[in-house]
A and B are shown apart, each in its own frame.
Chain A
């Protein structure tokens, strides 16, 4: 049901997004044009000037790094900055470094608890030093700010790559303009609406600080409970909408205030799926070949369905320790599959409570990254897989491979192969390093299949810019902070750069208008695409999955690590 609604909404939202990026006139122009023009003038950008892939990529990189730098300062000095009613101290440099990259790369891997250690403490006035939390300023100015910009960046680079495939395009567009417009015309309005819905559903949105109230039984025991509130609704909106996943609370959407009831749960799942699905349609609409949405969408959702199938194979739902009992196992499992399929990384249940097969399915989503994948990059990855499939399998049609009428050259294959290669390198190498340097042992993760799964998951999640993890705040050590930061950065920007280059090289290339090649818009192609994605991805990671969740499964772990 949720899926159908998400696909349908994507279908209806797509024309609007396409118009935003093709800069067609719209009713919003009256209000937004002056604002946008002001912004362009402020940063002295000529909105009419197009960029090649190098310039576009560089602009995206510089803007992102600049924003991360600001966020770094906020994180590091939140202790002396305003809007810190709880009095959280600044984050350590390595944690701040890791967190800015985490939020800046749309990963939102969190090695801290947003609310600090208040869950464990009866009173937040007495914070234990060294347990990091985030002030309101950090949550709003650093986290939410980066959640918006990283989501916007994802949309921009995807659109830029798609522009390369559009016939007669002369450049990939202007990053500053795309960036501004995706914020003003897509993310802000959608987020505003979503926030209102969440507030309506009972998610708090306030800056008043935590409330300390007497509990019901407090009348007799004099116990107090800290009510942890803050600007939660808006953060939840952008975290799900932007496939960010970094929640306000350490327990993320398993925490009642972030996700008070089944309606908010369903709505959050819907928001996660919304933009990645929409971008599948945008691909077809921008390129002017609407049928080409099909392999991307069908491919993505068949793989998604497969993930669900794996996740629901065991006689689940089993409610184990750490499971969200309010929604039951079904929603926990479903949520986990969705959150990894779109690389959001938000959780509504503790991963440790889930069956290994659910974790396997989660891995699947993160390793493929295109089911339908994170905001923007999901489409990019799917195009990468399509090109690989068209090239290797399509050769058997007896024609030199082509996609959208573009002949696939040796250089395209090279770019695609390198983009594909990035993932195994940044997942496997640090996983081994985590053990060989003793960093895993230092935080108490063992060498069993369970321990291995946790470490492997940590880096897979970082590389896929997903953000869900087993380790959480326990991984707040210099090794994990720095290694995941690097993995997240490479996992984000290396494929983006390579695939932008791919898009850029399509400009001015001869386009065949004949439709004599392999029809990529046929259902059978989508099926073959799914098959080759599975073979390619599983071939690359199978031994590690076998040592992790698969082994856990054979060892008979049901849940509860």
Chain B
């Protein structure tokens, strides 16, 4: 999916400056549209002044000269292009954001529903995509249907599985008047329900709608940067006004167009032009990661994260453990354990159960009681006993069970295995009960605990693995070593997080020894073992009390309070509605490891904004040196000594103006993709970027203006 999407994106990139974007950028040149961007509005106003100068220099006594009409036209043109570069960048960022948002909308699960139409007293069922449902529509929900959208039950009573949404594993009984949640599943019976929301009001849609920049509220940081820009604009306006006044009272004969050129060069046009696109493309980048944020503010806050709570499962490890070793107790051998594991897991479809069967199979431990599996009684896993298992009636020798397992496993068994015990003789003529589960749970049900029980369990935990105990007929026979599989790259990611001065805290339900070992393996110093969902809330509260900014992920309903309290809460799309509503971001791909990317993105967004602002202000130094010598050239020629670049007197102003304009499109890619940075500490990043964009911002225009000057004088 993601490769297809990225291909789609790159295909679109080639036609990025489409006609639509171009037209949009021209429409945005209207002064009315520019009101939101005061810096650019002022540039446009100066454009009209210079155009007026070009048309009628006589109307500007002492400020314009009719011999310079061509020059005025050139200046005016560059001014207009400067504004256009800015609107182009806006249009680009917005179209990009809309494109990514649309591709996200497509990602949203499409569920077909059965809409009930009542015509002339008779009911007719029409299959309808969920997105076309509207509030008040009646829908029919039958057994095994997925509820397409939030609705209220009108008729019927049914059991509904909401486990995916609420984390409540037992089915819920729904009667008229109850609400059913979109995404839950009907387990039995039939319901008629009335749709209570429009598809557009769904959560994701609400979040996506934020991208339209007209509706997008400015984040606090954006507001503050805007204030700096307005402040600088005010300062330069006073400065140029005073300079105009000084020129008149001291008879220094400055040309108004050169003054305007100086004015526009000093104005923070670069950041003024790019500020909206920086924020917007930050959100776009988030979308590309398939994450929707409720507000831009949350993204910024992510950059400030001090502590990051990582769920072990799904973030650090791939979510399921693999069986790697059978450890029998004293009077048993490996085969006993392997066979018991095989039997107990035959009906267990979890990845963990499958890995047990695979390990037993590969070691050749296929039990002869296989045929008894058909007639077995299955103990489903229950959270209260934390065990599962199987009870076998007497078997009749080696025969493949008719159910359970996957077709492939059954085929392989048939091909490879012959009964190694001469056929037909049932081993246990009585019933055999095999139970697997957490060591402490098994300990409670067995008749006697072997002497080496605790030792083996502890040894496994200490190694960071998980122990699973097996009992046969209430007799402990052995332990299976289950190993967590680390996610690829997780160690590097944790390293990066730590380098940036963020403390990762691992949350796991594992016991302390296991938790410690895994934490050590990936380089995490803090972990919360045997964590209950409420623990997350407590940790968030504790860290926040020490004024730290906490980022976390969550999916279940009982994560909701913690998600709501955390400064950055990333909910999984597979999670419950409550969790999604409490969080300020949702990951549509439900990959908890992305919380790290979110933090990096937040940092990048702030960095980019700071970099372009600093660069823009630092640029001004060189522009003074370019324009000041020319400004009063006719009356105070001594100031030519400031012409350190040796620019041509006729070309200096144009060079500075062109540089001022051209730097905007040159920085559009930077604004769109963000400042690239290597994970490192706050101070290092600060110093590095200050060198590049602050110091560099002073130097670059000197070089750039000189080059442009050379180019112009050649033409």
Interface on A for B, CB 8 Å cutoff?
A: 388, 391-400, 405, 408-410, 412-414, 417-418, 420-421, 424-425, 428-429, 431-432, 435-436, 447, 449, 452, 510-514, 516-519, 522, 524, 528, 531-532, 535-536, 538-544, 546-547, 550-551, 554-555
> CA A421 – CA B231 in complex, angstroms?
7
- Among B231, B234, B243, B642, which residue has the most Cβ atoms of chain A within 10 A? B231
CB contact under 8 A between A518 and B686, given known A400-B303, A413-B227, A542-B624 = yes
> CA A555 – CA B642 in complex, angstroms?
12
Check B251 for interface membership: any CB of A closer than 8 A.
yes
Q: Which residues of A contact B682 (CB under 8 A)?
A: 397-399, 516-519
Tell me whether B613 and A547 are in contact (CB under 8 A).
no
Secondary structure of the B side of the interface? helix
- Among B230, B238, B618, B628, which residue has the most Cβ atoms of chain A within 10 A? B238
Tell me whether A546 and B639 are in contact (CB under 8 A).
yes
Cβ proximity bits B602-624 to A, threshold 8 Å, 1 near / 0 not: 11101101110110011011001
Tell me whether B621 and A555 are in contact (CB under 8 A).
no
> CA A418 – CA B232 in complex, angstroms?
10
| B224 CB contact (under 8 Å) in A391, A398, A513, A543 | A391
- A-B CB contacts (within 8 Å), total count: 195
> CA A547 – CA B250 in complex, angstroms?
10
CB contact under 8 A between A410 and B632, given known A429-B242, A432-B249, A514-B547 = no
> CA A431 – CA B693 in complex, angstroms?
35
| Minimum C-beta distance from B234 to chain A (A) | 6
| Minimum C-beta distance from A456 to chain B (A) | 9
Tell me whether A447 and B641 are in contact (CB under 8 A).
no
Tell me whether B641 and A398 are in contact (CB under 8 A).
no
Q: Which residues of B contact A413 (CB under 8 A)?
A: 224, 227-228, 231
| Minimum C-beta distance from B297 to chain A (A) | 10
Tell me whether B227 and A417 are in contact (CB under 8 A).
yes
Q: Which residues of A contact B602 (CB under 8 A)?
A: 398
| Minimum C-beta distance from A546 to chain B (A) | 6
CB contact under 8 A between A392 and B238, given known A400-B606, A510-B547, A547-B246 = no
CB contact under 8 A between A420 and B547, given known A516-B306, A546-B642 = no
Cβ proximity bits B248-289 to A, threshold 8 Å, 1 near / 0 not: 111110000000001000100000000000000000000000
Interface on B for A, CB 8 Å cutoff?
A: 220-221, 223-225, 227-228, 230-231, 234-235, 238-239, 241-243, 245-246, 248-252, 262, 266, 300-301, 303-304, 306, 500-501, 546-548, 602-604, 606-607, 609-611, 613-614, 617-618, 620-621, 624, 628, 631-632, 636, 638-639, 641-642, 675, 677, 682-683, 685-687, 689-690, 693-694, 698
| A424 CB contact (under 8 Å) in B235, B303, B683 | B235
Q: Which residues of A contact B603 (CB under 8 A)?
A: 398-399
Q: Which residues of B contact A554 (CB under 8 A)?
A: 638-639, 641
| Minimum C-beta distance from A481 to chain B (A) | 21
> CA A544 – CA B239 in complex, angstroms?
9
Secondary structure of the A side of the interface? helix
| Minimum C-beta distance from B287 to chain A (A) | 20
Tell me whether B231 and A398 are in contact (CB under 8 A).
no
- Among B225, B638, B690, B698, which residue has the most Cβ atoms of chain A within 10 A? B690
Tell me whether B223 and A544 are in contact (CB under 8 A).
no
| A543 CB contact (under 8 Å) in B243, B613, B690 | B243
Closest to B234 in A: A421
> CA A447 – CA B250 in complex, angstroms?
5
Q: Which residues of B contact A452 (CB under 8 A)?
A: 246, 250
Tell me whether B604 and A398 are in contact (CB under 8 A).
yes
| A396 CB contact (under 8 Å) in B252, B547, B607 | B607
Tell me whether B231 and A531 are in contact (CB under 8 A).
no
CB contact under 8 A between A519 and B683, given known A400-B304, A424-B238 = yes
Tell me whether A513 and B686 are in contact (CB under 8 A).
no
Tell me whether A395 and B609 are in contact (CB under 8 A).
yes
| Minimum C-beta distance from B383 to chain A (A) | 38
Tell me whether B624 and A543 are in contact (CB under 8 A).
yes
Q: Which residues of B contact A428 (CB under 8 A)?
A: 238-239, 241-242
Tell me whether A392 and B239 are in contact (CB under 8 A).
no
Q: Which residues of B contact A535 (CB under 8 A)?
A: 617-618, 620-621, 698
CB contact under 8 A between A524 and B304, given known A398-B677, A511-B547 = no
